[in-house]
Chains A and B, each alone.
Chain A
């Protein structure tokens, strides 16, 4: 429930606070991610040309765009892996460059092409990861139990990761990133390599975790169906710039399109999406 609060006490950092009215009551939404004018160049290549967006608490936010648009670069900057050339990126008010250690305590990052340690069992991998976040042995136990549930790996969790299929590995990694119940989950193509059934399962789990535990999720995806199902809001990114932002419904209405792919086509002028 929303309530009026002394904002300066609650948000001592320079967190963005958006005050809106909801059915006549003041609505306070806390932004978890604040990105402002982010620029990142790789030599002569301009990866990000000044992007800005906010993600609010408990929201599932989708970043969509074609190959080379700058999605992964944005996610990597927020995950403290890359440093922007200029601009600012804050996670819960902490600067991803200057306060990277604090940011890392709040996030859980799932790269698009992530792997797990081949010579460890799925269980050992989860145990290894849980130890970074849990404060007690009980918490570790709970995290692992949840992860086994999320991954759907059952008894195979005791097998070495090297014996897993691509899909099994992906499920293990998704489970790893959600079991720690981060403040912000940064998921780069979370369902990549999963079959329809497992992809559906993972999407439902992401949505459930965001709702039940108030986890804020930043998702990058090229699957429009996935984006429409998962995301509360999306940002369309093209050539290092955000070209549109809003809820999937808003965007479709605004651009008079039947799906997000059409929206993007209308904005970016026929840039094809990766498939």
Chain B
């Protein structure tokens, strides 16, 4: 025999999971949004790169200089397997470009060769025509710029050789920096640090999104009971109101946790897709959260802190959602109450994500840690600034808020206000009850 408590939890899960609205929010959104986007990204980027590689550079050239270096540039274009069509003027060049579908026009202005001969930079004017905003178009523009840069470099080498300089690279950059970040005694290359923390902080945003979903799901669950008029019967069943509230809460929590897993998995796949797309182009510029974790070499206690912070925040979201949703009279009014959770969660998240905690006085840091919904970001930041106690304080505050919310929820479930709805709607609703 299943206990009455378990009976309600199972009913909640069945009812919620079969609700198309919940299904869309918890499964379809993460799948479509992240996995779909990731796959799309991978396909477009890969195709784009292949396309850019495949297509030869083709330009329309306007030679107003007619000098030696202009000739040298034309020869260079042919040597690198690119092609050009000449036009007498810029206007003509534009027409030809449009006719032939060429995307770039290069003008060699008068005095180009003279300038170079006099050791002054020769300017090549490039006009890119926009036909489409796409990865391929951007790639092709880059290819034209690269062509000019290669020519410039070849020229530098010739000039340097003429002056007896063989090691041009050294002359251009005799001093290079090799910066790295020291994190907990480990050195991490500087160029990796930015993307590492970036990917990691982005992961902290996911719990905030899930919190809002958890809250709105909890509110929907109670709103549906009111709208479908099932609440009255539920409240007369032989089960204590506290258990009733708790079982609803647990049902919502289970789905919120499934949702978090779906989101984190989706997000990881998304990041991995981006990483895979650029793998051959620029190695190691982007990280999935798991790769970031490996690089940062976080301890078990750090991971426990982050995990707990995320869990407690979802718990708080769900309990507040259930509490606030109880004041509504139907699904719409119940879910609209969730804005009271969503807004502060986002504002606090935004403030904390971009705030420099290390330069703040201790009291401010701890005050911020006490804010509701601060724990996911606070726990991550507290690890970075090597003050994990801040994260634990934030978790403790979250626990206190959750206990208060659950207490409020159980009070609400035992009062007749749950049936009557929010205070404002009270009179209207009661008149409706009374008229029966």
CB contacts under 8 Å to A, within B248-290, are none
Which of the four size classes fits the interface of chain A?
35 or more
Q: Give the residues in chain B near A132, CB-CB below 8 Å.
A: 4, 7, 237-239
A82-B233 contact, Cβ under 8 Å, with A72-B433, A115-B228, A132-B239: no
Let me know if B230 and A73 touch, CB within 8 A. Answer: no
What is the CB-to-nearest-CB distance from B11 to chain A, in angstroms, rounded to a whole number? 5
Kindly state whether residue A99 has any CB partner on chain B within 8 Å. Answer: no
Let me know if A117 and B230 touch, CB within 8 A. Answer: yes
A124 to B229, CA, bound (A): 17
A119 to B19, CA, bound (A): 7
Let me know if B15 and A72 touch, CB within 8 A. Answer: no
Let me know if B18 and A42 touch, CB within 8 A. Answer: no
Instruction: Pick from A102-110, A230-238, A261-269 the stretch touching chain B.
Output: A102-110
Let me know if B436 and A67 touch, CB within 8 A. Answer: yes
What is the CB-to-nearest-CB distance from B29 to chain A, in angstroms, rounded to a whole number? 19
Kindly state whether residue A111 has any CB partner on chain B within 8 Å. Answer: yes
CB contacts under 8 Å to A, within B138-169, are none
Let me know if B11 and A128 touch, CB within 8 A. Answer: yes
A107 to B233, CA, bound (A): 11
**Which residue of A43, A101, A111, A176 is within 8 Å of B229 (Cβ)?**
A111
Let me know if A128 and B236 touch, CB within 8 A. Answer: no
In this complex, the member of B1, B4, B434 whose beta carbon has the largest number of chain A beta carbons within 10 angstroms is B434
Let me know if B237 and A104 touch, CB within 8 A. Answer: yes
A128 to B14, CA, bound (A): 11
CB contacts under 8 Å to A, within B21-48, are none
Q: Give the residues in chain A near B426, CB-CB below 8 Å.
A: 42-43
Kindly state whether residue A68 has any CB partner on chain B within 8 Å. Answer: yes
Let me know if A42 and B19 touch, CB within 8 A. Answer: no
Kindly state whether residue A10 has any CB partner on chain B within 8 Å. Answer: no
Let me know if B238 and A104 touch, CB within 8 A. Answer: yes
CB contacts under 8 Å to B, within A31-83, are 42-43, 45, 47, 67-68, 70-73, 76, 79-83
**Which residue of B236, B240, B434 is within 8 Å of A42 (Cβ)?**
B434
Kindly state whether residue A113 has any CB partner on chain B within 8 Å. Answer: yes
Kindly state whether residue B55 has any CB partner on chain A within 8 Å. Answer: no
What is the CB-to-nearest-CB distance from B172 to chain A, in angstroms, rounded to a whole number? 69
In this complex, the member of A120, A131, A176 whose beta carbon has the largest number of chain B beta carbons within 10 angstroms is A131
Let me know if A136 and B11 touch, CB within 8 A. Answer: no
A83 to B418, CA, bound (A): 13
A96 to B137, CA, bound (A): 75
Kindly state whether residue B78 has any CB partner on chain A within 8 Å. Answer: no
Q: Give the residues in chain A near B233, CB-CB below 8 Å.
A: 109-111, 114, 173, 176
**Which residue of B4, B15, B232, B427 is within 8 Å of A109 (Cβ)?**
B232
Let me know if A120 and B14 touch, CB within 8 A. Answer: yes
Which residue of chain A has its CB nearest to the CB of B230?
A: A115
Let me know if B238 and A72 touch, CB within 8 A. Answer: no
A128 to B430, CA, bound (A): 30
Let me know if A136 and B1 touch, CB within 8 A. Answer: yes
A111 to B237, CA, bound (A): 13
Let me know if B11 and A120 touch, CB within 8 A. Answer: yes
A114-B232 contact, Cβ under 8 Å, with A101-B240, A136-B1: yes
Kindly state whether residue B393 has any CB partner on chain A within 8 Å. Answer: no
A117-B228 contact, Cβ under 8 Å, with A67-B436, A82-B416, A111-B233: yes
Kindly state whether residue A228 has any CB partner on chain B within 8 Å. Answer: no
A212 to B327, CA, bound (A): 42
**Which residue of B232, B427, B431 is within 8 Å of A81 (Cβ)?**
B232
Kindly state whether residue B435 has any CB partner on chain A within 8 Å. Answer: yes
Kindly state whether residue A153 has any CB partner on chain B within 8 Å. Answer: no
Residue interface mask A121-163, B partner, CB < 8 A = 1: 0001000110111111100000000000000000000000000
Let me know if B431 and A45 touch, CB within 8 A. Answer: yes
Let me know if A128 and B7 touch, CB within 8 A. Answer: yes
Residues of B in contact with A (beta carbons under 8 Å apart)? 1-2, 4, 7, 11, 14-15, 18-19, 228-230, 232-233, 235-240, 416, 419, 426-427, 430-431, 433-436
- 7 new A-B contacts, CB < 8 A, other than A115-B229, A119-B15, A132-B239, are A67-B435, A67-B436, A72-B434, A104-B238, A109-B233, A117-B15, A119-B18
A-B contact pairs, 22 of them (CB 8 A): A42-B433, A43-B426, A45-B434, A68-B436, A72-B434, A72-B436, A73-B434, A104-B239, A105-B238, A109-B232, A109-B236, A111-B232, A114-B230, A114-B232, A115-B228, A116-B228, A120-B15, A124-B14, A129-B237, A131-B7, A132-B237, A135-B1
